[in-house]
């Protein structure tokens, strides 16, 4: 097999895994997309996609990492989450990975809920109501982050394709 074809195949695989990683929190989605695009540009000898385009793609990658942290923290802080709630959301996300899509959807919520209940050390209705609000806020923050990362990943693919064919 031609080594260049192998590089393109590996680049495509990195992009596909990266796109999956924008939704699955265990994978660094957008950085993997960038790695795939960089490999494709390198395999071509940077004839179609050069340094200016790659610099913009690198900036978009850095923005995606910042967005990931910001969206989750924003969703949690907006509803007054404690540090334990945010830790619980992270643990719930990791545990949720083992339960496919339902786990990915419920894990962060249940983790934030449990963390906030541990922080408040109370099962009174007021505490449970607040903890539920924190869980929902954290969950929406994570969903916002996923949506923004997906938008950035597809913008990167579009920019790469535009640079390749122009």
Per-residue pLDDT band for 105 (boundaries 50, 70, 90) equals confident
Tally of CB atoms within 10 A around 1: 6
Categorize the per-residue pLDDT at 151 as very low, low, confident or very high, splitting at 50, 70 and 90.
very high
Query: What is the number of structural domains in the chain?
Result: 1
The structure tokens listed for 108 are 């962060």
| Domain hosting residue 8, numbered range | 3-165
- Give residues with Cβ within 8 angstroms of 139, minimum separation 6: 75, 89, 105, 108, 109, 112
CA distances from 59 to 8, 54, 131 (A): 23, 9, 36
- 42, two tokens: 């390198």
Task: Note the pTM of the prediction, 2 decimals.
Answer: 0.77
Q: How much is the average pLDDT of 127-144?
A: 78
Banded pLDDT at 123 (limits 50, 70, 90): low
């Amino acid at each position: 097999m031609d080594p260049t074809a192998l590089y393109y195949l590996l680049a495509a695989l990195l992009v596909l895994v990266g796109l999956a990683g924008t939704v699955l929190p265990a994978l660094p989605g957008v950085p993997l997309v960038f790695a795939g695009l960089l490999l494709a540009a390198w395999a071509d000898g940077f004839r179609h996609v050069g340094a200016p385009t790659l610099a913009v793609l690198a900036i978009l990658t850095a923005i995606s990492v910042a967005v990931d942290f910001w969206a989750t923290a924003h969703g949690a802080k907006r509803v007054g989450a404690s540090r334990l709630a945010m830790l619980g959301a992270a643990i719930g996300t990791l545990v949720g990975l083992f339960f496919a899509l339902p786990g990915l959807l419920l894990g962060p919520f249940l983790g934030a809920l449990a963390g906030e209940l541990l922080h408040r050390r109370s099962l009174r209705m007021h505490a449970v109501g607040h903890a539920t609000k924190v869980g929902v806020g954290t969950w929406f923050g994570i969903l916002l982050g996923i949506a923004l990362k997906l938008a950035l990943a597809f913008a990167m693919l579009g920019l790469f394709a535009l640079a390749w064919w122009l």
